[in-house]
A and B are shown apart, each in its own frame.
Chain A
Amino acid sequence: MGDIKKIAIANRGEVAVRIIRACQELGLESVLLHSKADINSRAYRMSDAQICIGDSPVGESYLSIERNIDGALAAGADAVHPGFGFLSENADFAQALQDANIDFIGPSPEAIRTMGDKIAAKKIIAKANVPSVPGYNGADQSPEALAKEAEKIGYPVIVKAAAGGGGRGMKVIVDSTSAIEMIAAAKREGLSAFGSDQVFLEKYLNRAKHIEVQIFGDLSGNVVHLFDRECSVQRRHQKIIEEAVSGSISHELRSKMTDAAVKLAKAVKYVGAGTVEFLVQDDEFYFLEMNTRLQVEHPVTELVLGVDLVKAQILNQMNRFNVWEQDLLIPRGHAIECRLYAEDPFSVGMPSTGTIGFQSWPDAPGRRFDYGYEAGDAVTPFYDSMMAKIIVWDETRSRAISKMLKTLDETILFGVKSNIPFLKQILSHPEFVDGSFNTQFINQHFAEGAIPFNNSDQVSAIGEMCIDKIADVAPGSQSFKSPWAQSWSNT
């Protein structure tokens, strides 16, 4: 821990861009550790230096501890920012960096090991008297033994990868017939996404809201909370829309939850940015998990509080940060984030890949666009399908919803299908608008994905007219990409 001049980024896409921006604003050099597939990406073009650490499959690049360490050493980096996903919650990676005398921008390997391993975290939780959901987190990991435990807890039961997050390696088991099959699938997903097939079981709360508390700890042991975010709009446990602060909890409940989160962070001597996730049902809250890293949805907190969590993470690592005073953190207005996934919105999240032919982000007051691809870049099947995030702020929740709808109307993305039509239908749904939605919202109202457009005659007519009037472009070809495209963003 000390002076940092050069930061290696062990990530890709929009979060790599976010970290590069923070480095630039702090006058630090950024080095992108990337895979072969990501040579054509915005983070590659924006970073000061780039080191290719391996092939496109994640196991050969972004998930390889060895290759990331080698890359950071070759870069001469003082610190590594892991972003989220990939190795961000991998204690072995944090330890290996420490051994190589490189700072890991995040908590200690011990804190990651304790809180990142959701089984160990549950034990700490019990000690700190924070309520948690009934479940099984024992050592017997055979699908048959787990299925028996699921029976004991009582269906529905959720099976989760112990090292997981972001909805991967999670399955809801509704009855005993599919139990073993689902447990085996969760173990495989855990192994492929996080390198561990350890899972645990929990009773599945079927009309709960997902509400989480952002916390931040400095090196002197001070911990503050940065209020809450509601992330109840989820499909297959993958968040789609997030807000700060939640519009649906009372003052009392908020203060109980934030107190619990701070208490927990202090118990593990937590340093840096972290998130304590809770499920809330019938005015009771239950600990879900703690994420020992930056979250995808951190921008909504940044917008309502006027803070910069990524710069805070970096400055904290340099011991140049005194954490914010709790009393001065007062949320103002309302922020909403929509995640743009590369998928067919009308067929239950079927991924869509391809080359972006054109995109336009409609900038205006209170709108923020975090994106990792530009025209000419390919969205490949190797990585998560999140292409970008749109975040808006306004004085009230209903105005923020209107602003987001308008922003999505004006956002243009050609070449890869996106979930924008789906996002708009969610934002316009009465249950979303009145705030009564819970984590079952998508299952209940959009089980088949977005409702298809019913204007095919007009679409054909316009499509045919367009064909007559425009020439073909070959994405990525010389004639399509101007010599300046490398350094110009097309916003």
Chain B
Amino acid sequence: MKKLILSIDGRDVEVLAQKAKGKVWFHWQGDTYEYTPRAAQKASGSGQAALDPTQIVAPMPGKIIKLQKQEGDSVKEGETVVVMEAMKMEYNLKASKEMSIKKILVSENQTVSLAERLVELEEL
């Protein structure tokens, strides 16, 4: 952890900061921010995966509790496809638009890691 004095808009401000795993954590004016450097943002195309309607990825590490759909099924927007458990709570992973299930890549009771692809979908 480092205490930095940065010049922002001509004013000196105090920021506490730490780099970890390619990201910067800093505390400034009462709030803490996790910041991904611009260079890394471009490289990984960060944010793309979550918005892609053709796949459902694990938003956290955890366990697959239930698969509500089978390959070939169609799903409506907002319909639950996968039920996951993490930190003792269940989470419903939903389809972001009307699609059909192309491929299911996991099975019930399987442990999955963060951002692991669970289901592939395709346009109807």
Task: Point out residues on A near B: beta carbons under 8 Å.
Answer: 58, 167-168, 185, 188-189, 192-193, 236, 238, 342, 347, 350-353, 355, 357-358, 381-385, 408-410, 412-415, 417-418, 420-421, 453, 458-467, 469-475
Complex partner residue of B62 from A185, A381, A414, CB under 8 angstroms: A381
Give the secondary structure class of A's interface. Answer: mixed
- Taking CB atoms, residues of chain B closer than 8 Å to A351 are 60, 86-87, 89
Contact of A417 among B34, B38, B65 (CB under 8 A): B34
Contacts of B65 in A (CB 8 A): 188
Q: How far is the CB of B26 from chain A (nearest CB, A)?
A: 5
Assess whether B31 is in contact with A353, with CB atoms less than 8 Å apart. Answer: no
Are B31 and A453 touching (Cβ within 8 A)?
A: yes
Q: Are A381 and B60 in contact (CB under 8 A)?
A: yes
Cβ–Cβ < 8 Å partners of B53 in chain A = none
With a cutoff of 8 Å between Cβ atoms, the chain B residues found around residue A384 in the complex are: 87-88
A463 near B37 with CB under 8 A, answer yes
Report whether B35 and A383 are in contact in the complex, using a CB–CB cutoff of 8 Å. Answer: no
In addition to A185-B83, A381-B61, A459-B35, 13 A-B residue pairs with Cβ atoms within 8 Å of each other are A189-B88, A189-B89, A350-B59, A351-B60, A357-B25, A459-B33, A460-B35, A460-B38, A462-B6, A465-B6, A466-B19, A466-B24, A473-B18
> How far is B42's CA from A435's CA once the two chains are assembled, in angstroms?
46
Q: How far is the CB of A15 from chain B (nearest CB, A)?
A: 15
Q: Which of B13, B18, B38, B87 contacts A470 (CB 8 A)?
A: B18
A453 — which chain B residues lie within 8 A by C-beta? 31, 33
Is the CB–CB distance between B19 and A473 below 8 Å? yes
Q: How far is the CA of A417 from the CA of B25 in the complex (A)?
A: 10
The digit string for B69-112, where 1 denotes a CB below 8 A from any CB of A, is 00000000000000101111111000000000000000000000
Cα distance A355–B28 in the bound complex, in angstroms: 21
On whether A193 and B28 interact (CB within 8 A), knowing A350-B59, A381-B61, A465-B6, the answer reads no
Give chain B residues whose Cβ lies under 8 Å from the Cβ of A465.
4, 6
Residues of A within 8 A of B24 (CB): 463, 466-467, 470
Task: Say yes or no: is B67 at the interface (Cβ < 8 Å to chain A).
Answer: no
- Interchain CB contact under 8 A, B2 and A470: yes
Contact for B1 among A188, A193, A414, CB less than 8 A: A414
Q: How far is the CA of A467 from the CA of B34 in the complex (A)?
A: 12
A357 in contact with B1 (CB, 8 Å): yes
Flag if B25 contacts A188 (CB, 8 Å).
no
Which of the listed residues A167, A355, A358 has the most CB atoms from chain B within 10 Å of its own CB?
A358
With A188-B65, A412-B16 given, is the CB distance from A469 to B60 under 8 Å? no
Is there contact, CB below 8 Å, between B89 and A168?
yes
Q: What residues on A are CB-neighbors of B27 within 8 Å? A: 412, 414
In the docked arrangement, what's the CA distance between A407 and B37, Å? 29
List 10 contacting pairs A-B, 8 Å CB cutoff, sorted by A.
A351-B87, A357-B20, A383-B87, A461-B8, A462-B6, A462-B13, A463-B24, A467-B37, A473-B18, A475-B20
